[in-house]
Structure 1
Amino acid sequence: MGEDAVVTETHNTPLVEEATKKASVAWVAVADGPALALWCVSYQGALLVVSGPGEQTAPGLAEADQAQVTLRGDHGGRIITWTAQVSRVRPGTEEWDTLAPLVGAKRLNAPGPTADLVARWAADDCALVRLTPAGEAVHGGRLPAESLAEPPRPTPAVREVRKPFRLHRVRGH
């Protein structure tokens, strides 16, 4: 934490509430893993995140008890980082019947109707988790002097390098 960082002990400060309400993407880190950008839906002071087959990847989030959540502003700067209590919402419960359709309706580019999407999540064992503010919130402070950039993660994606396109032949003088 930076020298001027402010640590707030309360779980749901006005800044946490406001940033959470406006969030559509959150950077979530589980244990010592890297923070992953995950799309989310705000609901009653918490964030709802779905992951699993056919959805975004969030290794360890469904099994975790806690995670670090960072929310950023419109221009990419960090607004706040807070510790979240992670609770999984299970299919077949009243909570699932309420929350899964809410999240499904906000899913961009969803293949088919929301009811089909929610049924697929249940059948494919996708994880719907609720991230509730439950610890210290860190905000403010100066930016660190060193870079916080991480090296790119390994990927099977390969991009073919092609020769530049030429419209006409260039002659030498």
Structure 2
Amino acid sequence: MDALVEEAAKKAAVAWIAVSARPAKLVWCAWLGGALLVVSGEGEQTLPGLPEAATVEVSLRGDHGGRIVTFDAEVSTIRPDDEAWGELVTQLAGKRLNGAGGAEDLARAWAERVERGSCSVCRLTPVGGTAPMPDDSQAAPPRPTTATRIPRRPFRLHKVRGAAKERRS
């Protein structure tokens, strides 16, 4: 595994994940056991197609928003009856901000949702090397929308003409 990927992932609380041809989405994650763990589904963040995907593209950014590294990751799901569940998911629940109840309660709720098929806990294991950094900014144009806003007229505290006449006299 690339040392840059591991170091950036250990410090990351969020990652940009692109599933298939969809635009990348920002999700919270945690680096545990040599992989990024992501929870998605009912009551959590949405990342359509993640449990079914074989690989995804992951981008990690630094404290100031600049991209540090982009890499491909192999997707595997963790089920409550897996050995890794007890070891990793309780730690993941402890890292969850604003979780309802304690880590054990949250892990139990995730297990119930996974059994119902409304939630998934995915392990994203880095494969291959890192993608080269692009030469351009990679800025995307705004997405088309029907939303419009009529700009307001500028606020004027007083009439400029009247004040100019008073200064002349």
Q: TM-score, normalised by structure 1?
A: 0.76
Please tell me whether the aligned partners of residues 76 and 122 of structure 2 are also in contact (alpha carbons under 8 angstroms).
yes
Please tell me whether the aligned partners of residues 55 and 73 of structure 2 are also in contact (alpha carbons under 8 angstroms).
yes
Q: Deviations over 1:1-34 (max 9, x none)?
A: xxxxxxxxxxx21111111111110000111011
> In the alignment, which of 42, 47, 62 is matched to residue 51 of structure 2?
62
How many residue pairs match? The answer is 148
Aligned-residue offset at 1:73: 0.9
Q: TM-score, normalised by structure 2?
A: 0.78
Q: Which amino acid aligns with 2:73?
A: A
The 1:53–1:152 alpha-carbon spacing in structure 2 relative to 1, beyond 3 Å, is: farther
Please state if 1:23 is matched with 2:12: yes
Q: Tell me how large the CA RMSD over aligned residues is.
A: 2.5
Question: In 1, Cα distance between the equivalents of 2:30 and 2:61?
Answer: 15
Unaligned runs of 5+ in 1: 1-11, 155-169
Structure whose CA Rg is larger = 2
Question: In 2, Cα distance between the equivalents of 1:71 and 1:150?
Answer: 22
The 1:118–1:152 alpha-carbon spacing in structure 2 relative to 1, beyond 3 Å, is: farther
Please tell me whether the aligned partners of residues 70 and 78 of structure 1 are also in contact (alpha carbons under 8 angstroms).
yes
> Which structure shows the higher helix fraction?
2
Aligned-residue offset at 1:135: 2.5
Query: What aligned pairs does 1:146-157 form with structure 2 within 5 A after superposition?
Result: 147-151=139-143
Counterpart of 1:142 in structure 2 is 135
Please tell me whether the aligned partners of residues 66 and 86 of structure 1 are also in contact (alpha carbons under 8 angstroms).
yes
> In the alignment, which of 25, 30, 36 is matched to residue 41 of structure 1?
30
Higher relative contact order (CA 8 A, sep 6+): 1
The 1:153–1:25 alpha-carbon spacing in structure 2 relative to 1, beyond 3 Å, is: farther
Counterpart of 1:127 in structure 2 is 120
Q: Which amino acid aligns with 1:40?
A: C
The 1:109–1:135 alpha-carbon spacing in structure 2 relative to 1, beyond 3 Å, is: same
Question: In 1, Cα distance between the equivalents of 2:141 and 2:86?
Answer: 40
Secondary structure at the aligned position of 1:99 is classed as: helix
Aligned-residue offset at 1:152: 7.7
Please tell me whether the aligned partners of residues 33 and 88 of structure 2 are also in contact (alpha carbons under 8 angstroms).
no
Please tell me whether the aligned partners of residues 60 and 70 of structure 2 are also in contact (alpha carbons under 8 angstroms).
yes
